Amino acid sequence: MNKNSIMTTRELAEYIKMNEKTVLKMAQSGQIPGVKIGSQWRFHLETIDDYLQRDVVRSSDEELDLLIKTTENIIPLSRLTGYDYIKLDSKAKGVDQILVELAKIAYEGGVAISEDDLFKELRRREKMLSTAIGSGVAIPHPRHPSSKLFKEPKIVIIRSKSGIEYAAPDNKLVHIFFMTCAPSEYIHLRLVAKISKLLHVSTVVKRFVGAENKDQIIKILLEFDRERMFPKGKVKVV
């Protein structure tokens, strides 16, 4: 779908996988951004995508579960990253430097199609509005996630022990960067939902900052998969 698309209520309902009547009620109450023309509602796709991402980060555990579990095939968070996608000793001193590192890791790991194109898209997104969400965390991503940038869903994780000035809403330095590698907007939102749910665990950021090696990062994610997403201990791998 073209990013300049204007959608009807029905088209938006199909896009975000919700009932059309629910979408209409949300538009009427101002819960989602739209414009009423006569008796009909119209929605700008780019505005909707911005809204969805902000809304996902603020969602409760229960609301995140609804988005994460929209299909039967649930991919554990620990399976969306790995040693090749984790860097714990970033020496980046600013926004551009950390974006260069993220793009390089994704490209060398085989998930990004072009290192240069990815960096440019990440930089373009940060110039619009910082992807820092507060509490020492940022979720960098391209403005328009697509199969032209990524081959498959992955999450790149970088830690900066010293922290980076990143225009965070709480004015704190950012230490942990989760970059979503998503071949589509919908997959991007699901990855953000998974990261947001992980961050609901109060000790996670502190443990990430204090991790001594990549094994400890993987262990944190495995514990999360087992204890939070799969309480019965049955992790379904796809």
| pTM greater than the 0.85 cutoff | no
115 with 196, same domain?
yes
**Residue 159 lies inside a defined structural domain of this protein:** yes
> In this predicted model, what pLDDT tens digit does every residue of 170-180 receive, in sequence order?
999 999 999 99
Question: Do 87 and 50 lie in a common domain?
Answer: no
Cα separation of 19 and 24, whole Å? 9
Q: Are residues 173 and 107 in the same domain?
A: yes
Q: Are residue 54 and residue 90 in the same domain, yes or no?
A: no
Q: How many CB atoms lie within 10 A of CB 124?
A: 12
Give pLDDT, residue 63. 46
- Residue 108 inside a domain? The answer is yes
Closest CA to 66 of 106, 109, 16, 102: 16
Q: Are residues 52 and 94 in the same domain?
A: no
Examine residue 196 and state whether it is found in any structural domain, yes or no. Answer: yes
For residue 65, tell me if it sits in a domain.
Answer: no
Pairing, β 154-164 against β 137-138: unpaired
Shared domain for 82 and 193, answered yes or no, is yes
Is there a single domain that holds both residue 112 and residue 170?
A: yes
> Higher confidence at residue 50 or residue 27?
27
Is 91 in the same domain as 206?
Answer: yes
pLDDT over 60 (residue 208):
yes
Contact 195, 155 (CB under 8 A): yes
CA distances from 169 to 13, 115, 132, 139, 142 (A): 31, 28, 7, 13, 20
**Where in the sequence is the domain holding 31, given as residue range(s)?**
6-58
Structure confidence at residue 45 (pLDDT): 73
pLDDT tens readout for residues 214-230? 999 999 999 998 876 55
Q: pLDDT tens digits, residue range 139-188?
A: 999 988 889 999 999 999 999 999 999 999 899 999 999 999 998 877 88
**CATH assignment at residue 194:** 3.40.930.10
Sheet holding 35-37, edge to edge: 6-7, 40-44, 35-37
136 and 83, same domain (yes or no): yes
Summarised one tens digit per residue, pLDDT across range 58-108 is 555 554 454 455 444 457 889 999 999 999 999 999 999 999 999 999 999
Q: Could you tell me if 108 and 195 lie in one domain?
A: yes
